[in-house]
Amino acid sequence: MAELVVSREYEFELPANAHIYQLRTPDASRDNLIRIASHLSIRAGLDVGSFTEHARWNSYQEPAGWTVRIFRSSGGWQYRHSLRWQADLAGANVSIDDNDAQQLAAEALAQFSGDIATGSEVQWVEHLHVNHAERGSAESNERTIGARVRFRRILDNIPVEGTGGSTVVYFDHAREVTGIDHLWREIDSVAARVTSLRRVGDALDDVGQRYRASRGRFEVTDVRFGYFELGWYDEQEYLQPAYIVFLRSGSPESKSRMRSVVAVPAAENHIGEVQPEPRRRDSQPVRT
Amino acid sequence: MISVGVEWVNNFSAPCVNDDLVNRAECAEGFLDAMTARGFTSMFDWGDGNAWETDFRSNDNGGDALDWSDAVNFCYFADHGVNGGPGGQMDIGFTSQHEYCTGWSDSWRLGISLLRWFVLDTCDLVLDTDAATVSNWFGPMQGVHLLFGFVGEAYDDGGRGASFGSDAANGAVLSSAWLSDASSWWEGETAIAIAAGTTQDDATNRRDNETINWVYEDLPAETSWLAWKWYE
């Protein structure tokens, strides 16, 4: 069994208003896609553009290049310009500082109806860089061609951690929006009020259990408390508090390192798990 | 028709010592499932002891890449990786000593046959993004169009393979899809896509526009340009 190394103590107080929320069943129907598109100032219809039905999403593309895609499992959506999103256009080299980017992103979201990312905080700003090199030359040709701003959902004054619970706004060199990713599951009702938190030590035991079949040494580098929301392709029934445990592998005899994150329930009265365990695989027949 | 092969290592055992991982199979097989769901051809799925370094080592270096990694168009490898050898050589770990516990990038000739796109879902594809560092890939990239990975340490996250596979299979621009899908959104993880080209325009065009529909484009083994992009 893996060795879990915890070098400091973690303790969290129960926030005043922590809940376990029942989430709404995602609606990836064409009607909902049209509704979202209209919030984004796109009039979606077969007379204008085209709909595509995929096993994992529905999408609409209009002739000017904007695409809206809604995911069946999560209800999250992506609004992107097929030619301009993350593209290197016109040899641009822009300077957008973090404050500028945050302001641009907030203004962009305010333009759209539908209360996108209401109740959020800026988590980070990243800049999109490009570079190229010729063989035999170490000359650097680095340029910055855009930026993206991630808003993190805040619920009951508690941050939402994970791939979900976020809105990301993308800009190009001209400071124009080229995409918005919105993965923000809708709440249906309160399933329960959180009455007390589990001990962090018990949660770390859960993490150890997840690594029960593994070998190696894993150092806990941080533990956070927050709601935990899964990714685009994940079904999720409840949104509930979690301890988010950051790990880093590092046994002395191993020259490789890798980080990982495991989320485990934080509420004593949690409902099920907050992060599914990786699928167990049958051993492959020995290759000859 | 695109052909796909994946290899992954979650569990290590002596004499090939490394810390175990949890989500490497999830990533590699998630990618494979997404590609095959679109009708592309699965050629191999080798995990743990069945993943061999000879599958990546070029035949003229004594390996068997022409029968495996370079016999498919899209190869996804998920495991430990470490960069820091002389000249920026990258090493990837194996649990099977066939023939070695480590594969090293200096022994690869990626794309000499059919390989067009190679994902190294590991740490340390590169340690930095400057031209001198990334140029270390001029050697191993011998016809492969695009290389996908991370700058420095990555997370052992499970979802990125399926996301990237879905987007790639459905015709997304590969570099943009990787930068979006590979981000776990935890701080400090930097995805990078590196394109090769015969000219500067060719490399940047490939970086910015290539989809799997470019599978039939051949690149010579000695390309003169690399172009890459990343968020920071």
Give the containing element (helix H, strand E) for B201.
helix B200-209
pLDDT digits (tens, 9 = 90+) for B182-209: 987 788 899 999 999 999 999 999 999 9
Whether the upstream peptide bond of residue B15 has omega within 30° of 0, thus cis, is yes
Helix, strand, coil fractions of chain B, as percent rounded to 5: 30, 25, 45
Tell me the C-alpha distance between B76 and A177, whole Å. Answer: 32
> B143-177, pLDDT tens digit by residue?
999 999 999 999 999 889 999 999 999 999 999 99
Chain B interface includes A284 (CB < 8 A): yes
pLDDT at A59: 96
Does the pLDDT at position B103 exceed 70? yes
Q: Is the dihedral of CA A249, A252, A253, A256 positive or negative?
A: positive
pLDDT at B58 over 90: yes
Instruction: Spell out a b/e string for B182-197, using b for 16 or more CB atoms within 10 Å of the CB, else e.
Output: bbbbbeebbbbbbbbb
> What average pLDDT does the segment B26-40 reach?
97
Burial class (CB in 10 A: 0-12, 13-18, 19+), A167: buried
Size of interface A-B (CB pairs under 8 A): 192
What per-residue confidence (pLDDT) applies to B185?
78
Asked whether the predicted pLDDT for residue B127 surpasses 90, the reply is yes
User: Over 80: is that where the pLDDT of B50 sits?
Assistant: yes
- pLDDT score at B86: 66
Average pLDDT, chain B: 95
Helix axes B24-37, B160-169, angle to 10 degrees: 20
Q: CA of A11: how far to CAs of A198, A224, A246, in Å? A: 10, 10, 15
Q: Tell me the chain A residues in contact with residue B93 when contact means C-beta distances shorter than 8 Å.
A: 256
Which residue type occupies A226? G
The confidence score (pLDDT) of residue A116 equals 73
Burial class (CB in 10 A: 0-12, 13-18, 19+), A12: middle
pLDDT at A1: 74
User: Taking Cα atoms as reference points, which of B50, B176, B33 lies closest to residue A81?
Assistant: B176
DSSP strands (E only) in B67-160: 74-78, 81-83, 90-93, 102-104, 117-121, 146-151
A163 touches chain B (CB under 8 A): yes
User: Which of the 8 DSSP states describes residue B65?
Assistant: G
Instruction: Please state the rounded mean pLDDT for residues B126-147.
Output: 96
- CA-nearest of A178, A168, A188 to A76 is A168
Picking from B50, B135, B163, the nearest residue to A287 by CB comes out as: B50
Query: Would an 8 Å CB–CB cutoff place A138 in contact with chain B?
Result: yes
Residue A146, φ and ψ in degrees, nearest 5? 175, -175
CA nearest to A96, candidates A81, A79, A112, A108: A108
Q: Which of B46, B93, B135 minimises the CB distance to A133?
A: B135
Strand ranges for chain B from DSSP E:
3-8, 41-47, 74-78, 81-83, 90-93, 102-104, 117-121, 146-151, 190-197, 225-231
- Rounded CA-CA distance B66/B71 in Å is 5
pLDDT per residue as tens, chain A (288 positions): 788 999 999 999 999 999 999 999 999 999 999 999 988 888 877 788 999 999 999 999 999 999 999 999 999 999 999 999 999 987 788 888 999 999 999 998 888 766 777 788 999 999 999 999 999 987 889 999 999 999 999 999 999 999 999 999 999 989 999 999 999 999 999 999 999 999 999 999 999 988 888 888 999 999 999 999 999 999 999 999 999 999 998 777 777 889 999 999 999 999 999 999 887 778 899 999
What distance in Å separates residue B23's CA from the closest CA in chain A? 6
pTM of the predicted model over 0.90: yes
Res. B87 pLDDT band, cuts 50 70 90 = confident
Quote the minimal CA–CA distance from B88 to chain A in Å: 14
Give yes or no for a contact between B221 and B112, defined as CB atoms under 8 angstroms apart: yes
Q: Exposure of A228 by Cβ count < 10 A (0-12 exposed, 13-18 middle, 19+ buried)?
A: buried
How far out from the chain centre does Cα B78 lie?
8
Q: CB A133 to CB B12 under 8 A?
A: no
Q: Which of A131, A151, A214 to mutate to test the interface with B (most CBs of B within 10 A)?
A: A131
- DSSP label of A26: P
**Residue with token string 């408390």:** A225
pLDDT of residue A45: 78
Give me the pLDDT at residue B85, please.
64
The arithmetic mean of pLDDT across residues B25-40, rounded, is 96
- Across residues B112-124, what is the average pLDDT? 97
pLDDT of residue A196: 97
Distance, CA of A71 to CA of A60 (rounded, Å): 12
Interchain contact, B50 vs A87, CB within 8 Å: no
Instruction: Identify whether the C-beta of residue A143 lies closer than 8 Å to the C-beta of residue A152.
Output: no
Judging by beta carbons within 10 Å of its beta carbon (0-12, 13-18, 19+), is residue A193 exposed, middle or buried? exposed
Could you tell me if A259 lies within 8 Å of chain B, comparing CB atoms?
yes
Are the Cβ atoms of A258 and B184 closer than 8 angstroms?
Answer: no
Q: Is residue B59 helix, strand or coil?
A: helix
Query: CB-based contacts of B152: which residues, under 8 Å, 6+ apart?
Result: B123, B124, B127, B190
* Alpha carbons A76 and A99: distance in angstroms, whole number: 27
Q: Within an 8 Å CB–CB cutoff, is residue A256 touching chain B? A: yes
CA angle, corner A249, sides to B232 and B135, nearest 5? 40
Q: How far is CA B163 from the centre of its chain?
A: 16
Q: What percent of chain B has pLDDT over 70?
A: 99
Contact B21 A258 (CB under 8 A): yes
Alpha carbon distance B74, A204 (integer Å): 38
